[in-house]
Amino acid sequence: MTNRPLVETESGAVRGIVEDGVAAFRGIPYAASPTAELRFAAPQPHPKWSGPRDASRPGPSVPQSASRLEAVMGPRTPDSAEENSLTVNVWTPHLPSARPLPVLVWFHGGGFTSGSGGWDWYDGRNLAAAAEIVVVTANYRLGPLGFLHLPELGVDNLGVQDQVAVVEWVARNIAGFGGDPESVTVGGQSAGAFSAAYLAAAPATGTRIRRVIAQSGPFGLAPQDPGDAAEHSRRFLEILGLTGSLDLLAGLRTVPVQRLLTAYGQLAGELARPGNVAPPLYPVLGGAGIPMSWQEALAAGRLNGKGWLTGTTRDEMTAFFAFDPRVKAITAEQARQLVTDGRYADAAARMPGAAPSEVLTVVETGSLFREGTLAIAGQLASAYVYQFDYQPTPDPSRLGSAHCAELPFFFDTLDAYPDSPMLGTPTAHARDLAATFSRAVAGFVATGKPADARWQPYESGDSATVRHFA
């Protein structure tokens, strides 16, 4: 492999860079820039370019505000722009490859509001080398740019349409990077896990997906109701002063992007409630790429025959609650009102002396993340389940094993999180755990079975078949 390998894509040649024996191609456009008349439009093919395009650095993240989980994961330097933001990043251990390699297409989380596949948190170099697989990460439109709901104007789950375009780009182009388009795993964490599951179930993309990795999927959160999405979109337009506009799309396309983000932040503030983690706008049921709920898809057999690796962290909701003064000050009566099915009272009885916020954290971790995760795995013929239990030491914020805590270990990128309370200072044990976890999940992409003798197939209701990582 040369130090600057060259690969032909459908839009032109890209020149990557070799790092630790793995070829990296970053910032490759999979769709045209969503600017001017393509803002609030379905993704379109990228124009062809002449001559090799430098692919040694990632493109910008899509426009977004700071993540609400920065206090947990660590801060990011803003790097967003609309121009050249719809890109993929590819890591491949062999060019040329003697045989086509299995492929992982992975989507970042961030509540459909923040994140980027180009961030060093999600560098695929070590994961690709762990089991000789090709790793692909991607950007997709977020917040109002990705999920404003105006279907009468064709503004319909645009972020989901971007994800579909990524899967289609991989099918057409990945062979040039040594990947096997017939052996594709789609995965992701949080919002990315939600996305991976629905991409696997959707008729348009499901036939291209062989396996799924769903990390901390918020399967207790249904796709957004179309009526709620329409109402939230109406209020968003009202904040912008665009209600009643004769040419609404033209108006939206001329609003400065920072104004869009500020208005979305105001909408989020108006809708915020203690304990509610749903963003104002996210994938809408019945919209593009989301024809049915995951429960309906499971019942219809849409996920049959696909390998499934899934899991949660032990203390998911501390990431959302630990720094929220409204939750920390919540009373038992207020918590019972938030959890109306009696589970709060059941959990409180099992946790004598615990603060209401601690009980609520346990209840919501189960209802939003763990119960749906186990329900899906329990109905599939080939599923592997984990629980991530590692927690930082010391842990002054009492995060435990919070939402996102497994990400540095999944990608084996611990050094990319220098200021992360959820990780702390990596120890020798943490580095060993990262190598173990990364190798196990890469093995699943390669063979359909984790590369870990202790990780057995999940049997519904049997906690002994959940692999714990601590």
Active site residues: 190, 316, 403
Q: Is the CA virtual torsion 255, 258, 263, 267 positive or negative?
A: positive
Q: Are strands 179-189 and 211-215 parallel, antiparallel or unpaired?
A: parallel
Angle, helix 158-173 to helix 191-201, in steps of 10 degrees: 70
Q: Is the CA virtual torsion 201, 204, 132, 304 positive or negative?
A: positive
Give SS3 for 18.
strand
CA–CA separation, 273 and 63 (whole Å): 25
How would you label 267-287 residue by residue, b for 16+ Cβ within 10 Å and e otherwise?
A: bbeeeeebbebbbbbbbbbbb
* DSSP structural state of residue 80: B
| Contact between 204 and 161 (Cβ < 8 Å) | no
Say how many C-beta atoms besides its own lie within 10 A of residue 410's C-beta.
23
Provide the token pair at 192: 């990315």
Measure the CA angle with vertex 257, ends 251 and 259; round to 5°.
Answer: 80
Residue of 294, 289, 36 lying closest to 162 (CA atoms): 289
Residue partners of 228: CB distance under 8 A and separation at least 6: none
Read off φ and ψ for residue 327, nearest 5 degrees.
-75, -40
| Contact between 286 and 229 (Cβ < 8 Å) | no
Provide the token pair at 93: 């251990």
- The residue type found at 199 is L
Of all residues in the chain, what percent are helix, strand and coil, respectively (each to 5)?
40, 15, 45
Residues recorded for the chain: 470
For the chain, the maximum distance between any two Cα atoms, rounded to a whole number of angstroms, is: 68
- 255's torsion region: left (phi>0), alpha (psi -120 to 50) or beta? beta
Give SS3 for 197.
helix
Q: Where are the beta strands (DSSP E) in 197-328?
A: 211-215, 307-313
- 70's torsion region: left (phi>0), alpha (psi -120 to 50) or beta? alpha
